[in-house]
Amino acid sequence: MILSDRRKRVTIKDVAQAAGVSTQTVSRVMNKYSYVSGGTRQRVQGAVEQLGYRPSTLARSLSQQRSYTLGVVTFGLKYIGPSRTLNGIADKADELGYMLLTKKLDNFDANGIDEVMESLLARQVDGIIWDVPEVDENRAWSQGIKSLPVPIVFMSMEPKPGYSVVSMDSYLGAQLATQHLLDQGCRNIGHIAGPQDWWEARLRYQGWRDTLVKAGVQVSDKQWQQGNWSSASGAIAIEKLLERYPEMDGVFAANDQMALSVLSEASRRGIKVPDQLAVVGFDGIAESANFYPPLTTISQDPQLLGGQAV
């Protein structure tokens, strides 16, 4: 029953009184503890239903010193990738009976980071999931985090000894993507990269480059162009690429937003996709499935981090 009176919360005491037992006994019933006689148990359960008693997780957390709550720090949700990850985390957390306290990070300055950590810790989270892409600026910081009172799991960060890191394999994904283009017969494959101070962007770039080299294809700097993940930057990048690398017959974009721009630009110029120009993106936005195959999934993450966090 969801009835409960708006005025005052029903506490364990009320139940105890109603059932004519001590609060401890009620607690035992609630936690399926042994050593409670059938009769008493029933009486208590009756009272619980009757009053619409709902134990306060807060109080429980305080006395047990664990909150059954995980802190999740994300970097905006502007991009679709993170938001899907969050989804996965949510699922797993649910399964394990945890709730998520979400915090959003808007910039990388150390102050903000500290503050976020503070507020999370103050709420006694049992663990923290750090789903913020690693950029040069915030890398240094992660050093100082060593002595946290709770376990922390990093996502999308370069693995470092002593830390738990869960991430999808950007490098492998990029290799697959590039290989895919090669398989389709492309020989002049360009790359629209993400900002090179992002660890993941570098990986994707390298995956692309290495694959080409391994396949015995020449790679020069005119074949790639850096974007900043946004559609707009993708549009600019493809334009430049087409200009200085006209023989290009395939492009690997470091994320789907930029890949979309390529498509749009191509159609504007009347370039046939994929006949004249094959395009592969990265991230696996569902909507883009029509255009190019989604390449990597993060489906493994929730699993892992669930385990880690516990």
Partner DNA sequence: AGCTAAAATGTTATCGATAACATGTTATCG
Partner DNA sequence: CGATAACATGTTATCGATAACATTTTAGCT
- Does residue 233 belong to the site contacting a second copy (CB under 8 A)? no
State the minimum distance, in angstroms, from the CB of residue 61 to a second copy: 6
- Does residue 19 belong to the site contacting a second copy (CB under 8 A)? no
CA distances from residue 161 to 143, 150, 180, 203 in whole angstroms, order as listed: 11, 17, 33, 19
Closer residue to a second copy (CB): 211 or 255: 255
Closer residue to DNA (CB): 54 or 222: 54
State the minimum distance, in angstroms, from the CB of residue 210 to a second copy: 28
What, of DNA, a second copy, none, does residue 184 touch, CB below 5 to 8 Å by kind? Answer: none
DSSP string, 233-296: HHHHHHHHHHHH-TT--EEEESSHHHHHHHHHHHHHHT--TTTT-EEE-SS--GGGGGTS----
Structure tokens belonging to residue 83:
């938001």
Of 200, 220, 206, 201, give the one whose Cα is nearest residue 178. 206
- Does residue 297 belong to the site contacting a second copy (CB under 8 A)? no
DSSP string, 196-231: TTBHHHHHHHHHHHHHHHHTT----GGGEEE--SSH
Structure tokens belonging to residue 162:
């002593």
Query: Distance between CA 113 and CA 165 in Å, rounded?
Result: 18
What, of DNA, a second copy, none, does residue 39 touch, CB below 5 to 8 Å by kind? Answer: DNA
Which helix (H) or strand (E) segment is 131 a member of?
A: strand 127-131
- Does residue 119 belong to the site contacting DNA (CB under 7 A)? no
State the minimum distance, in angstroms, from the CB of residue 181 to a second copy: 20
State the minimum distance, in angstroms, from the CB of residue 297 to DNA: 39
- Does residue 112 belong to the site contacting DNA (CB under 7 A)? no
- Does residue 267 belong to the site contacting a second copy (CB under 8 A)? yes
Closer residue to DNA (CB): 8 or 146: 8
**Span from 11-19, 92-100, 157-165, 205-213 in contact with a second copy (CB under 8 A):** 92-100
Please work out the total of residues on this chain that contact a second copy, with binding judged by CB under 8 A: 62
**Span from 14-22, 76-84, 183-191, 243-251 in contact with a second copy (CB under 8 A):** 76-84
Q: Which amino acid is at 193?
A: A
Place of tokens 């709420």: 123
**Span from 28-36, 73-81, 125-133, 166-174 in contact with DNA (CB under 7 A):** 28-36
CA distances from residue 59 to 2, 54, 55, 126, 242 in whole angstroms, order as listed: 20, 12, 8, 15, 63
Place of tokens 């999370």: 120
**Span from 81-89, 170-178, 213-221, 293-301 in contact with a second copy (CB under 8 A):** 81-89
Angle between helices 300-309 and 80-95 (to 10 degrees): 50
Sequence-ordered list of residues with C-beta below 8 angstroms from that of 56, at least 6 positions apart, any chain = 9, 11
The residues binding a second copy (CB under 8 A) are: 2-6, 9, 54-59, 61-62, 67, 69, 76-78, 80, 83-84, 86-87, 90-91, 94, 99-104, 114, 117-119, 121-124, 144-145, 147-149, 230-231, 235, 256-257, 260-261, 264, 267, 273, 286-291
Q: Which residues bind DNA (CB under 7 A)?
A: 9, 11-13, 20-28, 30-31, 34-37, 39-41, 53-56, 58-60, 62-65
